[in-house]
Amino acid sequence: MKILVAVKRVIDYNVKVRVKADNSGVETANVKMSMNPFCEIAVEEAVRLKEKGVASEIVVVSIGPQQSQETLRTALALGADRAILVKTDEEVQPLAVAKILKEVVAKEEPKMVILGKQTIDGDNNQTGQMLGALLDWPQGTFASEVVAEGEAVKVTREIDGGLETLELKLPAIVTTDLRLNEPRFASLPNIMKAKKKPLDETTPADLGVDIAPRVATLKVEPPPVREAGIKVETVAELVDKLKNEAKVI
């Protein structure tokens, strides 16, 4: 079967995020960018399914500026077969991402779509669910285990009460959680091979999708600086400070 994997270019998770001087957003100029960690897990899971003989082709898609080609080449080096860049320099919010992916799915006709459960920049955790609703496909979110069985896939997902296992009839949507797998590193030979793998470009307009934002960001501010902690000598002193200073009890 064909698997479609969505990936996103974000600020590297090791970078300390800085807010722009005008508070309009976060600073991205001259900042190291990389693939969203949850998207790395999605790519890894697709590659493992291919190695098991479950998947025949892995197509990765990214929505963003021209530089997103780097992220797609990384996915190709990790084991994907070909890539699609939906090129735009505009902000693309979760609903617009889901609409674009719906059109890509209509063209590619995959049996499974795997996405990270969220990105570390927006932290919205919405795209997978919205895509499932638009396609009217079953979905398994927060997956910690994925087992493909014929025309179905069993997804073990992490919930507040523990683990829940769902059996989804294909085609289906799966969103990945941190404990699903440990992504591999791309080897130098595979990085070189990735340069020759096909990478197609399109635009939201070509797909007939309106990406005008529905939500406006009014202001972005860094979190308040946390005060240094203190040591207390006794439990009684701790209780007194929690009650009279912190006022949490």
- DSSP per residue, 196-234: TS-EEEE-TTTTT-----SS------PPPPPPPP---SS
Number of domains in the chain: 1
pTM: 0.88
The CATH number covering residue 139 comes to: 3.40.50.620
162 belongs to a structural domain: yes
Tell me if 237 is assigned to some domain. no
Determine how many CB atoms are found less than 10 A away from the CB of residue 13. 11
Residue 18 belongs to a domain = yes
Residue 247 lies in a domain: no
> Considering only CA atoms, which of 91, 92, 108 is closest in space to residue 24?
91
What pLDDT digit, counting tens, does each position of 205-239 carry? Answer: 999 999 999 999 899 998 888 888 889 999 999 99
Residue 13 tokens, joined: 């998770």
- Dihedral sign of CA atoms 79, 171, 115, 202 in order: positive
Task: State the average pLDDT over residues 127-150.
Answer: 96
- Pick the closest to residue 48 from 131, 164, 145, 175 (CA basis): 145
How far is CA 28 from each of CA 15, 33, 67, 206, rounded to the nearest angstrom? 11, 8, 12, 27
Q: Could you tell me if residue 239 is inside a domain?
A: no
Domain range holding 160? Answer: 2-223
Residue 217 lies in a domain: yes
Q: What is the residue-averaged pLDDT of the chain?
A: 95
In the prediction, which pLDDT does 32 show?
Answer: 94
Range 26-34 average pLDDT = 91
Q: Which two tokens stand for residue 52?
A: 């098991």
With helix as H, strand as E and coil as C, how does 44-112 read? Answer: HHHHHHHHCCCCCEEEEEEEECCCHHHHHHHHHHHCCCEEEEEECCCCCCHHHHHHHHHHHHHHHCCCE
Amino acid at residue number 130: M
By percentage, how much of the chain surpasses pLDDT 70? 100
Position 246 scores a pLDDT of 84
Q: Is residue 105 part of a domain?
A: yes
The arithmetic mean of pLDDT across residues 134-140, rounded, is: 97
Average pLDDT for 112-118: 97
Mean pLDDT of 45-56: 96
Answer yes or no: is pLDDT of 161 > 90. no
Does a structural domain hold residue 53? Answer: yes
Instruction: Note the pLDDT of residue 151.
Output: 93
Write down the pLDDT at residue 225. Answer: 86
